[in-house]
Amino acid sequence: MTRRLFIATAAIEAATSVALVIAPAIVVRMLLGASLDAAGDVVIARIAGAALFSLAIVCWTARSDGHSTISRGLLCALLFYNLAIVLLLMHANLGEHLAALGLWPAVGLHAAFSLWCIVNLRKPASGVPN
């Protein structure tokens, strides 16, 4: 189950990262219905895309690591990341009144990935791939 989580995370975050680097304004418009007005906005979105690609690389590399201590550390980081995304996107909608077609599917996806991380963290650590 951890292997599938890491593969799914790698695929989704790699696709999102490429989209953010190539067309950040489109991603932000689809997610929040907002525009990137300043040149700095585009740069920050592309930096976020590069960071997401780093996450994809780590998840892809760890996919065969089983449920080791390092794998559990990555699961904790993914849980934090996914919960933070849920909270940030919900705040964007409820606090800033930003929303577009992709907002709630993204919230649902990251909430589901959070639960998937929790399920995997409840398993005892071992060196055996699962």
Distances (CA, A) of 28 to 10, 96, 115, 125: 20, 14, 25, 38
Distance between CA 41 and CA 49 in Å, rounded? Answer: 12
**Per-residue pLDDT at 24:** 97
Predicted local confidence at residue 130, as pLDDT: 47
pLDDT tens, 31-81? 999 999 998 999 999 999 999 999 999 999 999 987 788 999 999 999 999
What residues make up the domain containing 66? 2-121
Residue type, 103: L
In a domain, residue 15? The reply is yes
Q: Which amino acid is at 38?
A: A
How many structural domains compose the chain? 1
- pTM for the model stands at 0.89
Secondary structure of 94-116 in the HEC alphabet?
HCCCCCCCCHHHHHHHHHHHHHH
- Residue 47 belongs to some domain of the structure: yes
Residue 64 lies in a domain: yes
Q: In 7-126, at which residue ranges do the beta strands (DSSP E only) sit?
A: none
Flag whether 129 is in a domain.
Answer: no
At 86-120, the pLDDT tens digits run: 999 999 999 999 999 999 999 999 999 999 999 99
Does residue 126 carry a pLDDT above 70?
A: no
Instruction: Please report the pLDDT score of residue 74 as a whole number.
Output: 96
